[in-house]
A and B are shown apart, each in its own frame.
Chain A
Amino acid sequence: MSVTSAPAPVPAVATSGVSRFTSRLRLKGAPWVPLFILAMVLVAAIGGETLTPHDPNGLNLGAAFKPPFWQAGGTSEYLLGTDNLGRDVLSRIIAGARVSAIVSLYAIVFSGAIGTMLGIIAGYFGGIIDTIIVRIAEIKMAIPGLALALIFSATMDPGLSTVIIVIVLTYWTWYARIIRSEVLSLRERDYVAFAKVAGCGSLTIFFRHLLPNIFNTLVVLMTLQVGQVILFEASLSFLGLGIQAPDTSWGLMLADARQYITYAWWGITMPGIAIMLTCLSSNLTGDWLRDLLDPKRRQL
């Protein structure tokens, strides 16, 4: 060891938010069980009726109220039992995963996009635009989420698209608020000032300088929202204001099974467990991502 070796060349710093995202994404300590459950839900949602052991809507009154296989009277043909019309509970849970996935996907993409856009605009421009956006968000937040959904459902026909619209209307403020506060501090950074001085337009600054920097926060928010969306959809469908038969969803299954609670405990138990496992998994995954990508936001 004669000469002190020259410092190793600094590796090129990943500048884009996406590559920084993947570089920080370490698999060590990943919540494997929750990720596996989410993957199963996704497979069920994509596979749908090709995966179900029975037709999820197939009536078979002779096989009504069969208990799950481990109970006396249960058969391995209907692993989780059947409902009042003899429909296979497992098949319906698999079919219901599709609704959860579709609602989550649309609701998250739209509320995320609208909320992020408004949050960036409010935080970046400030002034009167900021005041207006913040005020609208405050007013929206003054109406309790389900109350907004109820009045909306009273005027529109219930169904998948109404559920999605209601959830988007409810959740955009969540993104807008958090992204706005993030942008408020980002816009004071030197590189934003430089970009402005260099003559970049607002759109360039949005997409090249602000969006990559809030990417991590967005990923965390979106993952954490999955569980909330699923709970919201289940509540709406349970009230009869969400998904309508013959489509099926976990909330709707619970609504159907409710009146037979004294004969068939599995009817209200199994779809609830599906909801619980999915929400739990998305919350745990979200927590993991947050600790990994965005340690400032432990309180979310």
Chain B
Amino acid sequence: MKVVFAKGLLNALISILGASLIIFIISRLSGDPVSLMLPMDAPQSAIRALREELGLDRPMWEQYLIFLWKAVQGDFGQSYRWQVPALTLVFERLPATIALASAAFAFSLMLAIPLGVLSAVHRGSWIDQIGRVIAMLGQAVPSFWVGLILILVFAVELRWLPAFGAGGVQHVILPAIALGWYPVAAQTRIIRSGMLEVLESDYIRMGRAVGTPERLLIWKYAFRNALLPLVTIMGVYFASMLSGAFVVETVFAWPGLGRTVVEAVFSRDFPVVQAGVLITTILFVLSNFLVDLSYGLIDPRIRL
């Protein structure tokens, strides 16, 4: 277990380091990073000071080390739109995004678990068909369009829920559905195939033979084992929601990290873009790492 932990941690660190290198390289693609890092009307003295600070006269690898060293210390520069350190702003907006992603995740599981289990138990029935149609549609529509249609129906026409902003529980419902819609398809499919496999197994047949109630068989014995393949991709889907949040937060004016980064792209607030993308990446890597670790806890057979 310790070896697995150390290996996973090392891999995660390498991924984050590599990602920081990619972000650094992209930020140098435009030629002069100073023009990205400072507002257009910055005075000459500020430009000169930043050039010196970034070490632009030095070789590339040295510049990367400077970037990395400052990033480790949490210094991504000042957001010139909000006049606060970029990282402070990112951490300020992050909780709203995590709240939204969690709600979306809960929504997707609430739909996928019953759908997946029932379509495996009643294979070929109408519920299986419905599951299939939802899966097909879910992967063919962009999440922002789901959001727009939800706004059109529930906010504009029916006036049940607010169209944008944050506040009470009612504000999170529509964005959570829009964000959680996409993974439903894959989750349903994974639960379904996992269930099908388990339902064929000897111990379920044995249980059935000795007269265990069907409901107990399905939900207690089969479902638990069908859960494992779902957990293995859970991290991937939670992480992909952090990425989907860029679009959905923009549609619903949700005050999270995603919208902040998108706005920063438009106001050329490069320090915020850099910090936001790197923090999203770190979250992405860490959640995958945690999922890898959790295998052993859920399935003792994998424990090493």
Q: Which residues of A contact B (CB under 8 A)?
A: 135-136, 138-140, 142-148, 150-156, 227, 231, 234-235, 238-241, 251, 254, 258, 261-262, 265, 268-269, 272, 275-276, 279-280, 283-284
Contacts and interface: CB of A to CB of B under 8 A. Distances in A.
A143 B139 contact: no
**Shortest beta-carbon contacts, A-B, top 3:** A139-B18, A144-B243, A279-B140
26 contacts: A135-B14, A139-B18, A143-B19, A143-B22, A143-B277, A143-B281, A143-B284, A144-B239, A144-B243, A144-B284, A147-B276, A150-B246, A151-B274, A151-B277, A234-B145, A238-B142, A239-B262, A254-B148, A258-B251, A261-B151, A261-B156, A262-B156, A272-B148, A272-B149, A275-B140, A276-B145
Given A145-B243, A150-B273, A153-B265, A235 B144 contact: yes
Contacts of B274: 151
B216 interface: no
Contacts of B141: 231, 272, 275-276, 279
Interface stretch (B26-34, B44-52, B108-116, B117-125): B26-34
B261 interface: yes
A156 B247 contact: no
A155 B139 contact: no
B227 interface: no
Nearest to B155: A261
Interface string B120-143: 000000000000000011011111
Contacts of A151: 23, 26-27, 273-274, 277
B148 A152 contact: no
A239 B250 contact: yes
A257 B274 CA distance: 30
B152 A142 contact: no
B151 A254 contact: no
B289 to A, nearest CB: 10
B266 interface: yes
Contacts, number: 137
Contacts of A234: 142, 144-145
B242 A144 contact: yes
Nearest to B182: A231
Contact of A156 (B30, B270, B284): B30
A190 to B, nearest CB: 34
Contacts of A145: 243
A227 B139 contact: yes
Nearest to A139: B18
B274 to A, nearest CB: 7
B147 to A, nearest CB: 10
A238 B144 contact: yes
A132 B176 CA distance: 38
A268 B157 CA distance: 14
B304 to A, nearest CB: 21
B192 interface: no
Contact of B152 (A140, A155, A261, A280): A261
B18 A146 contact: no
B19 A142 contact: yes
B268 A142 contact: no
A148 B19 CA distance: 10
Contacts of A241: 265
B145 A272 contact: yes
B195 to A, nearest CB: 15
Nearest to B151: A261
A269 B149 contact: yes
Given A155-B27, A268-B148, A279 B265 contact: no
Identify which of A142, A261, A276 gathers the most chain B CB atoms within 10 Å of its CB: A142
A156 B26 CA distance: 9
Nearest to A255: B144
